Amino acid sequence: KKVIIVIIAGVFACILNADETTSHVYLKNPIGAKPVAMGEAFSGLSDDINGVFYNPASLCLISNYSFLFSHIEFVQGIRYELLSGLIPVSEKTSAVISVIYVNNGSQELRDAFGNLTGDFVPYQIIPVISFAKSINSELSLGINIKVPYEVIDTYSNFKVLFDFAGFYKLDQ
């Protein structure tokens, strides 16, 4: 039975695996001191609120309210801000609400001939809603719903993105 679940999960992951693109690259920034210290190998060991960005299914392992604030200052004035709050809805269900703000710093604005015409500040705001449900003592399922909103000078757009995850505890 366990082998079948692992095979189905593997096939499902392969089907849903999206191609790598340059779109929404800021969503790949590492989050959390513990996951970064572990080389971002945190999906199978997610045991705190940072798990929302590595394996949302693991969130139901957390039974207390949790909050996370992160500020990262990158080169060239790029700032990455994160605020997350976990609410244990029931004994088997947790929800997280997060907001990510990325400020890319001041950029030069040039016309088609390369003449400097001013400057602008591109930014992204990404609200994230996450849910995790423990199906039984071994299996948990989770989902992230992300709605990144991007602004570059006068251009803006948004998308709706999903992360699906499973967390299965193997016998030790």
Reported as a single tens digit per residue, the pLDDT across 48-107 is 888 888 888 888 888 889 999 988 888 878 899 999 999 999 888 999 999 999 998 888
Using CA atoms, how far residue 123 sits from 81, 84, 99, 151, in Å, is 11, 19, 13, 5
| pLDDT for residue 6 | 73
DSSP state of 105: -
Q: How far apart are CA 93 and CA 133, in angstroms?
A: 5
Model pTM? 0.78
Residue 33 has φ and ψ, to the nearest 5°, of: -65, -45
Count CA within 13 A, CB hemisphere, residue 37. Answer: 5
Q: How many residues does the chain have?
A: 172
Q: Give the residue from 101, 92, 98, 81 showing the smallest Cα distance to 144.
A: 98
